[in-house]
Homo-oligomer: A and B are copies of this chain.
């Protein structure tokens, strides 16, 4: 059996679950590599994936004998089959954050479930720690993101619109990867003051500040990087803000390691920003994996300890409404005694 499913079966034993119904497609992909619409049942004896005719062929080509997963076409599953899957199971787990209330009721009836038990993000918690293959995919996505950024520094010229640059990034990724990991942010001039700016028809001007937040997917795994850079020169009023953001980004990198507290890390940046009369208005970082935002969250409200082989972002930012904003972000792998930045683009003043 594949090691992730084996891990899950051990976990089920320890939780006294004799069966499990998984509906979250990201968790199913994590466990099986299947990228389709369907549900995964772990019964006493079997691992069963139920999908429909559209996906059967693709699912079969993804799986190997080694996975030990039986694939059913939903149209071939009878009322009796459903009732038999969890026969003699005292407790069957489900994903309470994913399944709708209507499905919850339907499943209890359809599978004749005795005790339907919430599983409190067991798989999401496991997904926080990446294995070698997962890290290799994220590394690759980060490398292509670095290359794309180098390309952009030569490509971007005054007169181009933010939208045009965003489209160029999308094309670059499409030719080399599974595509974007999120909608690219290209903000210029005062638009940089909005942390979640959507690309507009604004044209790049001489002496502009530009923020680009971008990432792609490789085998489903995401990268995430932000750089703030300048056309022609760095305006004097922006320098102290840029320096403060960069200092905190680098200090956070230096503090990221196995055992570090996400709350304390955030507090350090908040305090330094406050000393300079600025606020940290969003999280300092978030986990990156099959989803672009996933646990652990590096923020004051989440009190988690970083662990070896978590992959998280480090992205402090300062935004001055109506004027400008600066954010600098890397995707970072946590190690036993420190961390490795997987995105490696220049962070000192970048001038095009």
Which residues of A line the B interface, CB within 8 A? 53-54, 94, 96-102, 104-105, 118, 167, 174, 195-196, 281
Q: A54-B196, A196-B54 are in contact. Are A118 and B102 (CB under 8 A)?
A: yes
Smallest distance from the beta carbon of A281 to chain B beta carbons, Å? 8
Smallest distance from the beta carbon of A300 to chain B beta carbons, Å? 13
Contact of A97 among B53, B97, B100, B196 (CB under 8 A): B100
Residues of B within 8 A of A101 (CB): 94, 96-97, 99-101, 104, 118
In order of increasing CB-CB distance, the 3 nearest A-B pairs are: A96-B102, A101-B104, A96-B101
Q: How many angstroms from the CA of A195 to the CA of B118 in the assembled complex?
A: 38
Residues of B within 8 A of A54 (CB): 195-196
Q: List 6 A-B contacts (CB under 8 A).
A: A54-B195, A54-B196, A94-B101, A96-B101, A99-B101, A102-B118
Q: How many angstroms from the CA of A102 to the CA of B196 in the assembled complex?
A: 28
How many identical chains are in the complex?
A: 2
Smallest distance from the beta carbon of A145 to chain B beta carbons, Å? 21
Residues of B within 8 A of A98 (CB): 100
Residues of B within 8 A of A53 (CB): 281
Smallest distance from the beta carbon of A167 to chain B beta carbons, Å? 8
Smallest distance from the beta carbon of A341 to chain B beta carbons, Å? 27
Residues of B within 8 A of A118 (CB): 101-102
Q: 18 extra interchain contacts, Cβ-Cβ under 8 A, other than A54-B195, A99-B101, A101-B101?
A: A53-B281, A54-B196, A94-B101, A96-B100, A96-B101, A96-B102, A96-B105, A97-B100, A97-B101, A97-B102, A98-B100, A99-B100, A100-B100, A100-B101, A101-B104, A101-B118, A102-B118, A167-B174
Q: How many angstroms from the CA of A102 to the CA of B174 in the assembled complex?
A: 36
Who on chain B is nearest to A196 by CB?
A: B54
Q: How many angstroms from the CA of A49 to the CA of B101 in the assembled complex?
A: 22
Who on chain B is nearest to A105 by CB?
A: B96
Q: How many angstroms from the CA of A105 to the CA of B195 in the assembled complex?
A: 33
Who on chain B is nearest to A120 by CB?
A: B102
Who on chain B is nearest to A281 by CB?
A: B53
Smallest distance from the beta carbon of A96 to chain B beta carbons, Å? 4
Q: How many angstroms from the CA of A224 to the CA of B7 in the assembled complex?
A: 44
Q: How many angstroms from the CA of A240 to the CA of B54 in the assembled complex?
A: 26
**Could you say which of A53, A96, A101, A105 has the most chain B C-beta atoms within 10 Å of its C-beta?**
A101
